[in-house]
Amino acid sequence: MATSVGHWCLRLPHRVAPWRSSFHHCENTALSHSLQPLRKLHFRAFRTDARKIHTAPTRSMFLLRPLPILLATGGGYAGYRQYEKYRERELEKLGLEIPPKLAGHWEVALYKSVPTRLLSRAWGRLNQVELPHWLRRPVYSLYIWTFGVNMKEAAVEDLHHYRNLSEFFRRKLKPQARPVCGLHSVISPSDGRILNFGQVKNCEVEQVKGVTYSLESFLGPRTCTEDLPFPPATSCDSFKNQLVTREGNELYHCVIYLAPGDYHCFHSPTDWTVSHRRHFPGSLMSVNPGMARWIKELFCHNERVVLTGDWKHGFFSLTAVGATNVGSIRIYFDRDLHTNSPRHSKGSYNDFSFVTHTNREGVPMRKGEHLGEFNLGSTIVLIFEAPKDFNFQLKTGQKIRFGEALGSL
């Protein structure tokens, strides 16, 4: 009996083994099913001194998506800027003067890193695409509604006449739409809004109230050539004093901002002679009044074309400043000018003289004569010499149209 019991005890593991095997098989099957979703993850193995461990990579479970992060950051920053502008408007309503809050160097550098020149060239190509006849009216009507364009002033009111956006932007006006004021010596060269005006003090010019730019950086360094309308630089005189060629005169400036809905051509503001052109390739940042209050020396950063010459009171200059989507600046009598070109690098400039051996004076311009055009809204800056009794008949922020008076003696 003992032998029988002992024999049974010895063989018990062998008899229970199939049952235990079946139990372990069921357990493994259930575990396998529960872990099936995790098997879809890519596992990475790494070895330690004790044992080999498998772990899923962190980026598989927490994917960092750059676009949503960028949009969230940019949206938050834009919202903050809008809140700041709202606060400023409310304080202005209360009659409180708000000092301008200028952008930091990192903010300007970040803005300049945006490929605005490339985007503007792409926009220019898009503007040249001919629109189907049926699409012209809805596209132009949307633009007219958005920016408040007055098509009753256009020489051609029929929207189907304009084959592409570029032709629509450069539309001509009816002759009687902009009468030229003959009683005043200087008229507005374009439609727009007056950002600032007045005398140039020291060597700084106000782009808006409280925010300045360097006169020398804007017009460029001196070039010792006979055809320039100002003498070579000397060590004792300031840049401003060298521009004033006649005793008793002062240097004046006026800044006119052209909105996208404004008439995009610009004209001669007075009777003068253009002797020199200087082209500055540069950035194409927005030049709207908000940006002009935020970025110091905004006009010096942007691409611009400086026309200099003489009028009856001495030095006179007109500068067309480019902006985002406004890399194209055209001067009608200057066929060699090509703005926003990839061959021109930022930080440089190129000069062209209209004074030749056969033409010792330059290009004469009559007041109100067509001078050039922008592809979209931008800015015109006038800097000129005049007697001390020259008076502007303007208010900062006022709307003005081409042909209306800027000032007179």
- In this predicted structure, the answer to whether residue 259 has a pLDDT above a threshold of 80 is yes
pLDDT tens digit sequence for 149-189: 999 999 999 999 999 988 888 888 998 889 998 888 899 99
Of residues 190, 275, 283, 378, which has the active-site annotation?
A: 378
224/359: higher pLDDT: 359
Q: Is the pLDDT of residue 271 over 80?
A: yes
Confidence of residue 12 (pLDDT cuts 50, 70, 90): very low
Is 287 a residue whose pLDDT tops 90? Answer: no
Catalytic-labelled residue, pool 253, 264, 267, 276: 267
Residue 205 confidence (pLDDT): 86
pLDDT digits (tens, 9 = 90+) for 311-363: 999 999 999 998 887 667 899 999 889 888 777 777 778 899 999 888 888 99
Q: Sort residue 333 into left (φ over 0), alpha (ψ -120 to 50) or beta.
A: alpha
pTM value? 0.73
Q: Given 166, 190, 191, 317, which residue is catalytic?
A: 191
pLDDT band at 114 (very low <50, low <70, confident <90, very high): confident
Whether 191 is a known active-site residue: answer yes
Computed over its alpha carbons, how large is the radius of gyration of the chain?
35
Q: Would you call 3 helix, strand, or coil by DSSP?
A: helix
pLDDT for the residue numbered 292: 85
The per-residue b/e assignment along 211-243, b for 16 or more CB within 10 angstroms, e otherwise, is bbbbbbbbbbeeeeeeebbbeeeeeeeebbebb
Note if 113 is an active site residue: no
Reduced to 3 states, what is the DSSP secondary structure of residue 303?
Answer: coil
The whole-chain average pLDDT of the chain stands at 79
Mean pLDDT of 388-402: 92
Mean pLDDT on 57-66: 53
pLDDT for residue 268: 96
Distance CA 35, CA 313 (A): 89
Cross-strand partners of 266:
372
